[in-house]
Amino acid sequence: MNIAIYGYGNLGRGVEAAAQKNPDMNIVGVFTRRDPSSIETRTGIPVYAADDILNYKDKIDVVVICGGSATDLPHMTPGLALNFNVIDSFDHHAMIPEHFTNVDKAARETGHIALISAGWDPGLFSISRVYAHAVLPEGETYTFWGRGVSQGHSDAIRRIPGVLDARQYTVPVESAVNAVRNGLNPVLTTREKHTRECYVAAAPDADLTAIENTIKSMPDYFADYDTTVNFISLEELRKNHAGLPHGGSVIRSGKTGLQDEHTETIEYTLTLDSNPEFTAGAILAFARGIYRMHGRGMTGCKTVFDVAPADLSILSSEELRHSML
């Protein structure tokens, strides 16, 4: 299958790397809104102007859209779905129903297939929540994120005057995770589930106290959390906090038995050195899935919930039954 990468940031580069691990996939090229001549890809795949993508319509099976959820994907995904099978990693939770409707309309009217919100959360974590809820109907599901870098929170710190660069780690509260893991089904506030660790390189003349207060009082991002702020040099930040690790756990604990006498716990945990490379691997598996589903005549917008596991695998159903069942 022939894949186009639309957007060449961290995720686009992750898709480029992940495609190397999937022998049934070929990257047609990177499509960018920047000047194509300004970009050199890591593997030498060609770079084209985003506006020229229609010229490659016959050469592309699925466009992997690697834009941002805030401003790019809401118009990019429905727009590209008019001419291509597409997949994105839209993660603006409250907007998913509207995004789904827009993408579904574009894809359905033109006979394409689309899948939104692929990756690990939304994505693999979402799937884990659905399986766990279906097999253990009575119980509670918890999601913990981290320890890992939140790009959105890091960006929010970078926008504060006097900040040169910053990295924010989301850290699950271990005692809360253990209480959930042990089937206690605790009631947890936002503050009790995660803490936030910030590493900030500030300008020499910056007011560090003011920066720290601005971070800790930032609504939505930090105000509801126990937040620690560490000022470090730009060199140290670049040296020790260059990676994009992440991960987390979905844990569901519930009761079975006629008198609810038994406790069952399901846990799905990811530990990732590279969030974008792993996310890209998940996206490509679902790209394979929708490509196959489109081959069977399916159109419209799908989510990770609509793809049977067999369609994600490079192995045949016979091989899966033999080696993985």
Enumerate residues 223-262 that contact a copy of itself by CB under 8 A. Answer: 256-258, 261-262
Q: Examine residue 298 and tell whether it contacts a copy of itself (CB under 8 A).
A: no
Q: Which is nearer to a copy of itself, 61 or 277 (CB)?
A: 277
Q: What is the DSSP letter of 256?
A: E
Residues contacting 143, CB < 8 A, separation 6+ = 121, 125, 129, 248, 249, 250, 251
Minimum CB–partner distance for residue 209 and a copy of itself (Å):
37
Question: Which of 58, 205, 235, 318 is the binder for a copy of itself (CB under 8 A)?
Answer: 318
Q: Which is nearer to a copy of itself, 114 or 157 (CB)?
A: 114
Cis omega (within 30 of 0) on the bond before 122?
yes
Q: Which is nearer to a copy of itself, 53 or 66 (CB)?
A: 66
Q: Examine residue 113 and tell whether it contacts a copy of itself (CB under 8 A).
A: no
Cα separation values, 214 from 113, 158, 160, 163, 191, Å: 44, 12, 8, 11, 18
44 token code pair: 């030498």
Question: Which of 142, 278, 290, 291 is the binder for a copy of itself (CB under 8 A)?
Answer: 278
Minimum CB–partner distance for residue 277 and a copy of itself (Å):
4
Q: Which is nearer to a copy of itself, 90 or 221 (CB)?
A: 90
Cα separation values, 109 from 29, 97, 114, 205, Å: 26, 18, 12, 57
250, 128 Cβ separation under 8 angstroms: yes
Question: Which of 78, 81, 129, 180 is the binder for a copy of itself (CB under 8 A)?
Answer: 129
Q: CA angle, 188 as apex, 153 and 117 as ends, to 5°?
A: 50
Q: Characterize the bridge pairing of strands 148-149 and 163-172.
A: antiparallel
Which residues between 21 and 40 bind a copy of itself (CB under 8 A)?
21-22
Q: Which is nearer to a copy of itself, 79 or 245 (CB)?
A: 245
Minimum CB–partner distance for residue 48 and a copy of itself (Å):
21
Which residues between 167 and 196 bind a copy of itself (CB under 8 A)?
181, 183
